[in-house]
Amino acid sequence: MSLKAVKPEIPRRILFIRFKGIGDVILSTPLFRALKNKYPSAQIDLVTRAMCEPIVRHNPYLNRVMIYPDKTEGTGALIRFISRLRHEKYDWVIDLAAEPRSAWLTFFTGAPLRAGYAFRFRQWAFNQRIPKNKVRKYQAEVNLDIIRALGVPDQGNQTEIYLDQEDKDWAGELFRQNELNGMQYRIGLNPTGTWSSKRWPAAHWRALIELIHQQLGVKPILLGAPGDSGLIAEIRSGLEDKTLVMPETTLSQAAAYVSHLDLLIGNDGTPQHFAQAFGTKSLTLCGPHWGMSWVKPGDLRHRFLQHFLDCGPCDLNVCPHPKVAVPGGHVHQECLLKITPATVLGVAKEMLS
């Protein structure tokens, strides 16, 4: 079906659907800004998961953020949620991931325009099917391709996070205290990651901490969620006097904390997207996932390091190679092992200067 046949001239109600993850939702924020600039009187809503809500709670381009029911809430809650969306009578529904669940939800809204990527098994849900660009590029640009296909000019690919004053004050007060206030450079280290294949080895983090302490004379700050306490303890063991640790925070407090750093070095993950949204300098260590997809291009505040092997970047969440390489093969997580602490420090010093 052609775009002209289904596209209302001026949409009054627009719905975005982006369930997860947190970084993906942050990379969708340029679309909210573009749609509100194009249609300032339109109501623009977002459906997402509860874990992502804090980072879009105060976004001025969204009228509402609605939480998709958790599977523990049962089928009844899902049916009521679908009924609620259908009752809203959205003119446009834009599915930013075209996952099976989001495709079904898009279809059941009954919106005159339902836009999403033309994936083979899910494109049936959409009457405006957007070809997925096969060229590797920044994910925010990939997202913007959807609204460009709808005739909406973008306002650039800068991501945004809006914080309330309480979170800003909390982080500001923390960085005015003790050692944080007096350090020449406030360097954050993010050794965490949802997938093991994306995590730089703990031994490399320990070596980097030693180098930072020796050559820059500062204590880097280890970042992590409550579930990462074991990894943080492993990395910090014996280095307690050379490191600091970010206190336990909410998601929005963690974002505010990152906004006060001079540089964040980390695995591909949520804190790196915080840094890019706030303009905090970031250096991302990429293994199996393409750095060019997740690091803002053309902005010298944000860089990535990646070692290319003949097996990657593979986009796998679990490295298939053994701990001990077979003849002619690769060792487990070799793409990350070959990014050395000395190389990371060299780039970090260049960025700080």
Angle (CA) 163 166 167, round 5°: 50
Q: One-letter amino acid identity for 119? A: F
Look up the CATH architecture of domain 167-352. Answer: 3-Layer(aba) Sandwich (3.40)
Sign of the dihedral defined by the CA atoms of residues 211, 215, 216, 218, in that order: positive
What are the structure tokens assigned to 226, written together?
A: 């409550």
* Torsion of the alpha carbons at 88, 91, 97 and 100, rounded to the nearest 10: 60
Report how far residue 308's alpha carbon sits from residue 311's, in angstroms, rounded to the nearest whole number: 8
Please say whether the beta carbons of 197 and 319 come within 8 A. Answer: yes
Q: Where are the domains of the chain?
A: 3-149, 167-352
Structure confidence at residue 134 (pLDDT): 67
Q: Which residues have a Cβ under 8 Å from the Cβ of 327 and sit 6 or more positions away?
A: none
The answer to whether the 3-149 and 167-352 domains have the same CATH topology is: yes
> The whole model's pTM is what?
0.93
Domain 3-149, classified CATH 3.40.50.2000, yes or no: yes
Residue 300 CB burial class (10 angstroms; 0-12, 13-18, ≥19): exposed
Report how far residue 327's alpha carbon sits from residue 330's, in angstroms, rounded to the nearest whole number: 8
In order, the DSSP letters of 252-305 are HHHHHHHTT-SEEEEESSHHHHHHHHHT-EEEEEESSS-HHHHS-TT-TTEEEE
Sign of the dihedral defined by the CA atoms of residues 311, 318, 234, 260, in that order: positive
In order, the DSSP letters of 315-335 are --SS--S-SSPPTTS--TTHH
Per-residue pLDDT of the chain (353 residues; tens, 9 = 90+): 444 444 557 899 999 999 988 999 999 999 999 999 999 999 999 999 999 999 999 999 999 999 999 988 989 999 999 999 999 999 999 999 888 899 999 999 999 999 998 877 778 889 999 887 667 899 999 999 999 999 999 999 999 999 999 999 999 999 998 788 889 999 999 999 888 888 999 999 999 999 999 999 999 999 998 889 999 999 999 999 999 999 999 999 999 999 999 999 999 999 999 999 999 999 999 998 899 999 999 999 999 999 988 887 888 888 888 888 778 788 888 899 999 999 999 999 999 98
Please say whether the beta carbons of 239 and 203 come within 8 A. Answer: no
Please say whether the beta carbons of 261 and 280 come within 8 A. Answer: yes
In order, the DSSP letters of 142-172 are HHHHHHHHTTPPP--S-------HHHHHHHH
The tally of CA atoms less than 13 A away on the side-chain side of residue 214 is 9
Structure confidence at residue 7 (pLDDT): 54
Is residue 22 helix, strand or coil?
helix
Is residue 228 helix, strand or coil?
helix
Backbone phi, psi, residue 229, to 5°:
-60, -35
Structure confidence at residue 242 (pLDDT): 96
CA 227 from centroid of its chain's CA atoms:
19
Residue 196 CB burial class (10 angstroms; 0-12, 13-18, ≥19): exposed
| Count helices and strands in the chain by DSSP H and E runs | 15, 12
Please say whether the beta carbons of 163 and 256 come within 8 A. Answer: yes
User: Judging by DSSP bridges, how do beta strands 281-286 and 263-267 pair with one another?
Assistant: parallel
